[in-house]
Amino acid sequence: MTVLKLAVQPSPPSSSQVPGHLSLPPPITSRNLTGAITASAALLRGLDGKLGIYFAFPDISVRTEGTYTLKFSFTILPIMHGQEMRPRQQTSSVQATVFSEHFTIYTAKRFPGMTGSTELSKILADQGLRIPLRKEPRVSGNSRRASDSSQNQSQSQHDVEMEDE
């Protein structure tokens, strides 16, 4: 069984932001990640129609505002066999580790809004992968509240005009 484990790490400033430094230490792990941090492999077809191995983390969230990277650790778990369900091997080790690009977590007040689902997400969901899909981009709550407020105000003015007639 193949498993991918996820960890979130604060992103260090880039070397251009630190005068006199050519390299930086690796980011440290933070306990800001919530949701299922492991995922099993799914054999699905990608955008090009070719089979690929995909790992989905549909309920992951980060608790604290900031800039982060994700650390993915690929592990092959021991195979269970026999009636006693004991693994043939007693240990498993990380086969590969990869880091994501930097991304930013915002407070609810500063959140710019959700983007639409990617084409890859839609194709994987069509094949049975359980991931949430968004039909269209949504604006942030602040923008929506402002437009709702102006719509309510114009509707109220319209109602008053109707009563006066």
Quick one: pLDDT at residue 89?
A: 59
Measured in degrees and rounded to the nearest 5, phi and psi for residue 75 equal -130, 145
Region of poorest pLDDT, from 8-22, 99-113, 127-141: 8-22
Measured in degrees and rounded to the nearest 5, phi and psi for residue 135 equal -75, -40
Confidence of residue 85 (pLDDT cuts 50, 70, 90): low
Quick one: pLDDT at residue 8?
A: 79
Q: How far apart are CA 124 and CA 58, in angstroms?
A: 12
Please tell us whether the domain made up of 2-134 is placed in CATH 2.60.40.3960.
Answer: yes
Confidence of residue 93 (pLDDT cuts 50, 70, 90): confident
Greater confidence, 140 or 163? 140
Q: How far apart are CA 134 and CA 121, in angstroms?
A: 10
Is the alpha carbon torsion for 31, 36, 38, 44 positive or negative? negative
How far lies 67's CA from each of 30, 47, 73, 97, 107, in Å? 12, 29, 20, 20, 12
Average pLDDT over residues 98-113: 93
Instruction: Express as a percent the part of the chain with pLDDT over 70.
Output: 62
Residue 6 pLDDT > 90: no
Q: How far apart are CA 69 and CA 109, in angstroms?
A: 22
Please tell me the pTM assigned to this model. 0.63
Q: Which residue has the tokens 């799914």?
A: 42
Quick one: pLDDT at residue 155?
A: 46
Q: What is the CA radius of gyration of the chain?
A: 23
Residue 43 pLDDT > 90: yes
Quick one: pLDDT at residue 149?
A: 45
Residue/partner pairs of 9-18 with CB below 8 Å, 24 or more apart: 9/68, 9/69, 9/70, 9/71, 9/99, 10/66, 10/67, 10/68, 11/66, 11/67, 11/68, 11/69, 11/102
Q: Please give, one letter per residue, the 3-state secondary structure of 63-125.
A: CCCEEEEEEEEEEECCCEECCCCEECCCCCCEEEEEECCCEEECCCCCCCCCCCCCHHHHHHH
Average pLDDT over residues 133-156: 55
Greater confidence, 109 or 87? 109
